[in-house]
Amino acid sequence: MASRPKSRSKEAQLSRKPSRLPNPKASGPAAAPAATSRSLPHTIETINPKLPIDGTIDVVEHDSSAASTTLGPVLQRASFSISLKALPASIASTYSGPSRQVVTGYTVASVHLWLSVFHNAVTAAQHLLPIEEVWYALAFGLHHGLPLHRLNPWFETWWAKMFPLLGTLRSDVLRSLLYPCYELGGAAKLDFVVKRLWQLTGDLGESNPSRYAELRVPKNVIEWAEEQAKADDPGGSV
């Protein structure tokens, strides 16, 4: 497949903050909302015990869907002990310290992934995260202007672990991989997903499992990819 069109400048990338995020101020002070049930999961973990620990980041995960702009009931909470020097200033100042805010609007696993990446403490289990968690990690990174390329090494291993038999991927899985591959997978992975999806269905419709509907491959890239797919496989094996 020919080289895909350039997507955007670095400045444009950092300006694409997901627009449906809750107001950080609405999250309240450091104390997480009280659990509605005594059995509500609450993870307490030190991200990297080898580093000096001087902060805590609290995460509250809500039940939510792409059809709603409001957060649903609390599903789980987490408190991560972190090293401030390992984190970008935007994260450390907002979510750690005396006036820190609670992280809401994302999943515990997606925030945990970013913290693990910054602390050089990614675990084997994080290479087996569901696709949905990749979307929420991207949403969190874009909203806070984080360098998405820091996820690339993790994504390479995640891809290999999750999809050892690429030829067996179903169309619904391929549709949910278009955007993550566009952001993290590089040309080769995106080209594979595009070609395989076209062969199976004859169209390149995306599937977004997150609550952030604005996360999608730019229209011009999809149109270009479709033209390339048509040229490689004019019929499309529907």
Is the Cβ–Cβ distance between 92 and 84 less than 8 Å?
yes
Residues 141 and 60 in one domain: yes
pLDDT at 194: 94
Q: Are residues 66 and 116 in the same domain?
A: yes
Domain span at residue 57 reads: 40-146
Same structural domain, 167 and 137: no
Q: Residue 31 domain-assigned?
A: no
Q: Taking the complete model, does pTM exceed 0.85, yes or no?
A: no
Do 107 and 192 lie in one domain? The reply is: no
Would you state the pLDDT for residue 72?
86
Q: Are residues 173 and 127 in the same domain?
A: no
Helix ranges (DSSP H) in the chain: 10-14, 89-95, 108-118, 131-143, 152-162, 171-180, 186-201, 219-232
* pLDDT, position 67: 55
Residues 139 and 167 in one domain: no
What integer pLDDT is reported at residue 65 of this predicted model? 65
Q: Are residues 182 and 139 in the same domain?
A: no
Q: Is residue 15 situated within a structural domain?
A: no
> Do residues 137 and 71 both lie within one domain?
yes
Question: Which residue numbers in the chain have pLDDT < 70?
Answer: 1-38, 65-69, 234-238
Q: Is residue 97 part of a domain?
A: yes
124 and 172 in a common domain: no
Bridge partners (DSSP) of residue 60 are 77
pLDDT single digits (tens) 72-89: 899 999 999 999 999 999
Of the three residues 115, 146, 177, the one that is the final residue of a domain is 146
Number of domains in the chain: 2
Give pLDDT tens digits for 105-118. Answer: 999 999 999 999 99
Q: What is the pLDDT of residue 62?
A: 94
